[in-house]
Structure 1
Amino acid sequence: MATESAVKVSPDMQPEHAVSVTIFFEGVGVNSSLPAQLAAKDACSNLLRDLLRADRIERGKITCSFTVEPVIANIYGGLHGGAVAAIAERVSIACARTVVAQNKEIFLGELSISYLSAAGKSAEVIVDGSIIRSGRNVTLVSVDFKLKKTGLLVYTARATFFNMPVAKL
Structure 2
Amino acid sequence: MANSSSSSPIPSLIFVSPTIQIKDMSEQNLIGTIQMFNELTGSGAIPDDCDTKAFYSHITNGHVRQLHRERGRLTYLLCVKPAVANVYGFLHGGFVATVAELVSIACARTVVGEDKKLFIGELSISYLSGAPENAEVIVEASVLRSGRSLSVVEVEFKLQKTGKLVYTARFTLYNMPMAKL
**C-alpha distance in 2 between matches for 1:107 and 1:68:** 27
**Residue 69 of structure 1 pairs with residue 69 of structure 2:** no
Q: Please report the TM-score for the alignment, with normalisation by the length of structure 1.
A: 0.85
Partner Cα separation in structure 1 for residue 19 and residue 109 of structure 2: 52
CA 1:30–1:51 in 2, change beyond 3 Å: closer, same or farther?
Answer: closer
What RMSD in Å do the two structures reach over aligned CA positions?
2.3
How many pairs does the alignment contain?
Answer: 160
1:19 is displaced (CA, Å) by 5.5
Report the equivalent of 2:127. Answer: 115
Q: Which residue of 1 aligns with 2:54?
A: 42
In terms of mean alpha carbon deviation, does 149-158 or 41-50 score higher?
A: 41-50
Change (3 A) 1:150 1:11: closer
Distance in structure 1 (CA, Å) of the matches to 2:47 and 2:34: 22
Higher gyration radius (CA): 2
Structure 2: gaps (5+ residues): 1-15
Find out whether 1:128 has 2:136 as its counterpart. Answer: no
Is residue 56–residue 63 contact of structure 1 (8 Å, CA) maintained in 2?
A: yes
Residue identity (%)? 46
- Match status 1:54 vs 2:66: yes
> Measured at CA, do residues 11 and 112 of structure 1 come closer, stay the same or move farther in structure 2, by a change above 3 Å?
closer
For residue 96 of structure 2, give the secondary structure of its aligned residue in structure 1: helix
Measure the CA separation in 2 of the matches of 1:153 and 1:159.
18
Q: Deviations over 1:3-58 (max 9, x none)?
A: xxxxx823972374875654333111255322222232321111111111011110
The structure whose RCO (Cα within 8 Å, separation 6+) is larger is: 1
Runs (4+) of structure 1 exceeding 4 A deviation are: 15-21
Asked if residue 79 in structure 1 is aligned to residue 91 in structure 2, the reply is: yes
Aligned to 1:97: 109
1:9–1:18 Cα contact (<8 Å) kept: no
